[in-house]
Structure 1
Amino acid sequence: MGFLIRTVITAVAFYIAANVVTGLWFSSLTTLIIAAIIFGVVNAVIRPIVATLSLPVTVLTLGLFTLVVNALMLGLTALLMPGMRITNLSAAFFGAIIIWLVSWLANKLVGDRTAAVAR
């Protein structure tokens, strides 16, 4: 149930980011939902490895390099998803920020309610 809720939150975040950021594009709603699933898998499997390897740079930049790692994960998702397109690095960077922000806000709002339902 939690995976489904997080996938819907990510899909909504992708939709908002695609409407705000020029250069982030999805061919259809189905592509957007599948991209949200792939993004979740990429963040669960590959992101921890990249975050661990980039830890010295992250420490030197006081955590700001995490934004670059997020943009890389979004770019990797675009490479794996045929109907998703990112035209440049700034679109990936700002798209990742918007996706993180919307996901964070939605998880804050929904997180407490899903925990109460699970009990």
Structure 2
Amino acid sequence: MNPPLKLALRWLLNALALMLLPEIIDGLRVESYTAALVTALLLGLINALIRPLLILITLPITVLTLGLFTLIINAFLFWGVAGLVSGVHVADFWTAFWSALLYSLLTSIVNIALAD
């Protein structure tokens, strides 16, 4: 499979995973497929560009918590992206926390399925 097609398929499957989350987690609402696509795109960009910098900046606390602070970073990034996209609503921090955790598990499964 050529790389642009694989990237588009990964993006669509990540958006589908995002559409599945409100069925499992109360307090999360994704109103449309367009909102899911935009959110999946923004989450991918932020996880690729901003998350590594945040992890580097918070490295001492991440080491002290044995990596668990990374879950907090993921929750805040998920909550922030949801705040940027109209059509995606996250009720509170704990909803963002569990949503980010489950979303990362689902996207990991997508990445494993599409691995070469």
Which residue of 85, 88, 99 maps to 2:89? Answer: 85
- Paired letter, 1:23: G
Cα contact 1:13–1:98 (8 A) shared by 2: no
Cα distance in 1 for partners of 2:59, 2:7 equals 27
Aligned residues: 112
Cα contact 1:38–1:77 (8 A) shared by 2: yes
TM-score scaled to structure 2, two decimals? 0.89
TM-score scaled to structure 1, two decimals? 0.87
- Paired letter, 2:41: I
Unaligned ranges ≥5, structure 2 = none
What is the identity percentage for the equivalent residue pairs of Structure 1 and Structure 2? 32
| CA offsets 1:78-110 (integer angstroms, 9 cap, x no match) | 121111110011100000011011111121122
Alignment of 1:1-119 (within 5 A): 1=4, 2-111=6-115, 115=116
Unaligned ranges ≥5, structure 1 = none
Cα distance in 1 for partners of 2:91, 2:22 equals 12
Further displaced range: 91-100 or 76-85: 76-85
**Cα RMSD between the aligned structures?**
1.3
